[in-house]
Amino acid sequence: MAGEIVTVTIDDASGNFEILVKNTREDLLHDLQYFLGEARNYDPNVPESMFHHARFLRAALLILFAYAEAVVNGWLHTLLEQRNVGFLFGRIQRDCLDKKIEVLNELSVATVKRPKVKNAKEVRNLFVHFTPTREDEAFSRLSLSVIESSANELFRWMTEMESTLNLKRHANSDELMRAFAESGTTTKEVSTDLAK
């Protein structure tokens, strides 16, 4: 899958090797999981922890849309390249997420129900396009439920699109490492995955 970088370094003396997988889309997913987990650790109703809660929610919100954009851009790039019109990607890569989702549906003749993320986008815009007079609104609308419901909607849509497009969101770094590691012994694994 395009977008992942695998670097293999072989030690001349021992023959041991090191595998490094750089996978931005998967890392963004792990970032989202991390920031949501951290937000859950802080009570938004306790003055001593409410600002930590909000900090991790803001990070999760921004990363959610960065992840969605990265996945959508990956799919668009692949589909346009497959149709020998890859040059069109340069024209649409900076369009809004909604427009790119619309293009994906047209390219794939998909009938996948679009993700409902309006509330999360509005809250994101309150921070990304900050206006001093709307500070209280930004803080009051930022909530775990808004982010989690939008994440669930995006993941539902992505799962359906994966099947429709016959394309993965991104490669699985563990699978990539295992494919290379079959010729030797794995001595160390490092990942952005919280499970490791």
Three state DSSP letters for 66-94: HHHHHHHHHHHHHHHHHCCCHHHHHHHCC
DSSP secondary structure, 112-148, as one string = PPPP--HHHHHHHHHHHT--GGGHHHHHHH--HHHHH
Are 183 and 36 within 8 A, CB to CB? Answer: no
Residue 141 resides in a domain: yes
Residue 124 resides in a domain: yes
Output the six-digit token pair for 157: 């849509």
Residue 77 resides in a domain: yes
In the prediction, which pLDDT does 50 show? 94
Residue 185 resides in a domain: no
Residue 67 resides in a domain: yes
Cβ–Cβ contacts within 10 Å for residue 24, how many?
A: 15
In the prediction, which pLDDT does 189 show? 56
In the prediction, which pLDDT does 173 show? 72
Q: What is the domain range of residue 75?
A: 51-170
CA dihedral 71→126→36→112, nearest 10 degrees, is -40
Are 25 and 74 within 8 A, CB to CB? Answer: yes
Output the six-digit token pair for 135: 């500070």
Cα atoms in the Cβ-side hemisphere of radius 13 Å centred on 75:
26
Residue 16 resides in a domain: no
In the prediction, which pLDDT does 110 show? 67
In the prediction, which pLDDT does 1 show? 46
In the prediction, which pLDDT does 159 show? 95
In the prediction, which pLDDT does 11 show? 66
Rounded to two decimals, the pTM is 0.86
Cβ–Cβ contacts within 10 Å for residue 170, how many?
A: 21
Residue 107 resides in a domain: yes
Q: What residues in the chain have per-residue pLDDT under 50?
A: 1
In the prediction, which pLDDT does 137 show? 93
Helix (H, G, I), strand (E, B) or coil at 188: coil
The per-residue pLDDT for range 72-92, each reduced to its tens digit, is 999 999 999 999 999 999 999
Output the six-digit token pair for 102: 């619309």
In the prediction, which pLDDT does 39 show? 97
* Counted domains in the chain: 1
Single out the residue of 1, 51, 42, 39 nearest to residue 21, CA to CA.
Answer: 1
In the prediction, which pLDDT does 149 show? 97
In the prediction, which pLDDT does 22 show? 77
Residue 166 resides in a domain: yes
d(CA 36, CA 137): 21
In the prediction, which pLDDT does 71 show? 96
Helix (H, G, I), strand (E, B) or coil at 171: coil
